Amino acid sequence: MHKYPANARRHYERLKRFPEGLLVMGDALCSFNPTYAQGMTVASLEGLALRDALRAPATSTPLWRRYFRAAARAVDLPWSLVTGGDSSYPESNWSQPLAARLTGRYFTMVQRTAVHDGAVFAMFIKVQNLVEPPAAFFKPAFVLRVLRVARQQLPQPPPAGAVARAT
């Protein structure tokens, strides 16, 4: 059980003004459903974004704006991963473009295959923990492996709520 089983993102990079001397990091900038275990990694990436903003040559652009733009770029990829994964839940109520729906279906196939194939599981963990980029899921050898294992009529997980009803 998690106290906040949801994702929340705040777009400070879109602000016109922000108080000088203050910045926002971690869950105050973007918080993730804890089941994905990406919060600390993304907070570290935000820290790197701050380091880079502080090291950049002085310009007329305020520090907060440089930092929030860099932090937004650091958050974009993990954000798309978790929101794409959450779209497979029956409770999700947002519409997505066709490409996002197809990618979400493929990621669901990757997740189901990972239960039965150690190499797929290892890559899934690496991508989920931001060690490998999501593009690793689309390398031809990996896609073929996922499709080959998925074709084997793997047992499907029970529908949402079935375990709760059974117990």
- 74 and 122 fall within a common domain: no
Choose the final residue of a domain: 46, 64, 86.
86
Q: What's the pTM value of the predicted model, to 2 decimals? A: 0.65
DSSP H stretches of helix in 87-139? 98-114, 118-128
Task: State the residue range of the domain holding 77.
Answer: 8-86
Q: What percent of the chain has pLDDT over 70?
A: 78
User: Partners of 30 in the beta sheet?
Assistant: 9
Residue 93 lies in a domain: no
What are the tens digits of pLDDT across the range 88-99?
666 666 666 677
pLDDT at 87: 62
pLDDT at 91: 64
Q: How many domains does the chain have?
A: 2
Q: Which of 10-24, 33-47, 68-82, 86-100 has the lowest mean pLDDT?
A: 86-100
Choose the final residue of a domain: 86, 110, 135.
86
- 108 and 138 fall within a common domain: yes
- 55 and 27 fall within a common domain: yes
Residue 2 lies in a domain: no
Q: Which helix (H) or strand (E) holds 8?
A: strand 8-9
Residue 1 lies in a domain: no
Residue 19 lies in a domain: yes
Choose the final residue of a domain: 86, 116, 140.
86
Exposure string of 101-115, with b = 16+ CB inside 10 Å and e = fewer, is eebbebbebbbbbbe
Residue 41 lies in a domain: yes
Mean pLDDT, the chain, integer: 82
